[in-house]
Chains A and B, each alone.
Chain A
């Protein structure tokens, strides 16, 4: 078996049995990365040498009997997580060359458990986008292609597009992402892999470049649901450095993957049948419900009456928080600085931010600045916070009737570069099924479940109660087993 064909769980077992060393496993993934990354552009920074050193250190730990749960597993890290001594750009020119003097909590926990980092994954600038095309380091090529138009350059989704593409192309066994409005679940669906945004507060946000602090959550990507569960256990947990991280025990998520869904009540939100949804998405959704019914679950119609307002609510709340969070990029303490002869401090700020931020980031900062400005705060920001409360209340009421919710992950399969790009609002509609979970703080998992007529992957999404990722994993594994998704992208290690 080719080392890049392992699942993460399979690699953990093979390493434990001594069937392969961390050095061999990492070497295979480094080789795959060096050969595929120039085409796919999934990683902004490849840390091949550090990875090989880390792999040898991992083998030494194992020899001493000190193997952690992720000992020797090669991962990609979204370039939004600060990594000590390794450039962290957030996909922005304004942070080019920034080398964090500290490590994010999530990545430090992955290292603690033995993981090997292959590099920093490409992303939409400051995680603002659904295509990876707002990255200052170029777009990422989706490893899948259309059957009838194989030359079309498809996007991997976003914002965690590099993470998803790297996992799909078998450059790594798993990756970290962050999800503010769908940035894990949409690229997972576009790239035919699994990805989960856990409950808000499950993972520490310390050391993750902030976009919208009340919505941002870290989560894993992998090629199976169980692999995501294994990664999440290492990533999650209380952190005194993040006052919003939840002080509660972290369950053995992988153990929950084997649970039966018999007797579970699965909700189908009436409002998610949106106008103009492609028939293959409707079909896949119905198929998913049939699979769960066959496994003994009960299907229950529910209503989330305010879900239709989730996107406009998000596009007030997220830019407002972003305008505040991104105020720190001022050309003084780190990152890019742009001045002209005779620039005063204010001119330094304005030139630095105009040159350092791309158009979508500037747009969102300006929207956020406007909705928070005197005279408009109540009409926009306060109003959005109230509608957000209603969206969260709809879910609380639904949890009285159901144990989990099934919905599509995205309203379409991966689109090509250039499509959806004329109008920012058209691009925003990509997150129509995912954004509600961020506003309500709920866990959401995307599972590859079928193909569209062009042979592109489509995902189903499972939503759960706060801090009940275990039920989400159980439902996700049931769908995965029934779907038996064996399709592979054309561009991958060994192809």
Chain B
């Protein structure tokens, strides 16, 4: 599978990464180089194989559950300390709703 320029633009938009027009061809070439190399996986017979979706070596360990209680919170000042923009106890962003 080879990406055309429209797909490259669509993927960049999905990833929320601005792509300038003069970058599209270069990025397309790089992505297609990597995808072409990855293509060799199609040769592996994986019929009936259960996918491995986590890193735990003995298969998927049951996720531990804890009591559904509040264990943290009340630290708005710490959480906002690194914000590029804020208004009171809120993160500031450009106006979203008219």
Contacts and interface: CB of A to CB of B under 8 A. Distances in A.
Partners in one complex: yes
A101 B17 contact: no
A220 B42 CA distance: 36
B55 A201 contact: yes
Interface SS majority for chain B: loop
B81 to A, nearest CB: 6
B74 interface: no
B81 A101 contact: yes
Q: Which of B19, B34, B52 is packed against the most chain A CB atoms within 10 Å?
A: B52
A424 B95 CA distance: 40
Interface string A209-251: 0000111010000000000000000000000100110010000
Interface string B1-39: 101000110011111111100000001001101110110
B96 interface: yes
Given A357-B17, A390-B44, A244 B56 contact: yes
B57 to A, nearest CB: 3
Interface string A333-358: 11111010001111111110110010
Given A345-B96, A384-B41, A392-B57, A332 B51 contact: no
Contact of B57 (A347, A350, A440): A440
B19 A423 contact: no
Interface of A: 97-99, 101-102, 199-201, 213-215, 217, 240, 243-244, 247, 306, 309, 312-313, 315-316, 323, 327, 330-337, 339, 343-351, 353-354, 357, 362-363, 365-367, 369-370, 373, 376, 379-380, 382-390, 392, 423-425, 438, 440-442, 466
Interface in B38-82: 38, 40-42, 44, 46, 49-58, 61, 63-64, 66, 75, 78-79, 81-82
B46 A348 contact: no
Contacts of A312: 37-38, 40-41
A349 B41 CA distance: 34
Given A313-B41, A386-B50, 6 more contacts: A97-B82, A247-B64, A309-B41, A337-B85, A350-B13, A369-B11
A213 B61 CA distance: 15
A316 B17 contact: no
A471 B42 CA distance: 36
A100 to B, nearest CB: 8
A319 B14 CA distance: 14
B94 interface: yes
B37 A334 contact: no
A339 B95 CA distance: 13
B93 A243 contact: no
Nearest to B75: A101
27 contacts: A99-B81, A99-B82, A101-B75, A101-B78, A101-B79, A101-B81, A199-B57, A200-B55, A213-B55, A214-B54, A309-B41, A323-B15, A332-B91, A343-B94, A345-B93, A348-B94, A351-B18, A362-B27, A363-B30, A369-B11, A369-B14, A370-B7, A379-B1, A386-B52, A424-B34, A425-B37, A438-B55
Interface residues of B, number: 53
A59 B58 CA distance: 43
Contact of A345 (B49, B55, B57, B94): B94
Contacts of A330: 16
A306 B44 contact: yes
Contacts, number: 166
Contacts of A387: 41, 44, 46
A106 B57 CA distance: 21
B20 to A, nearest CB: 8
Given A348-B93, A383-B46, A387-B46, A335 B84 contact: yes
Contact of A316 (B3, B41, B57): B41
A423 B57 contact: no
Nearest to A391: B52
A214 B55 CA distance: 4
B96 to A, nearest CB: 5
Closest 5 CB pairs of A and B: A441-B57, A385-B51, A334-B82, A337-B84, A350-B18
A441 B56 contact: yes
Contact of A466 (B12, B15, B57): B57
A101 B75 CA distance: 10
B51 A386 contact: yes
A4 to B, nearest CB: 35
Given A315-B34, A367-B35, A466 B44 contact: no
Contacts of B49: 386, 389-390
Contacts of A200: 55-57
Nearest to A383: B41
B79 to A, nearest CB: 7
B94 A386 contact: no
Contacts of B57: 199-200, 392, 440-442, 466
A244 B19 CA distance: 36
Contacts of A383: 41-42, 44, 46
A32 B67 CA distance: 49
A379 B85 CA distance: 41
A323 B38 CA distance: 17
Nearest to B45: A390
Contacts of A349: 16
A98 B83 CA distance: 9
A357 B12 CA distance: 13
Contacts of B1: 376, 379
Contacts of B79: 101, 333
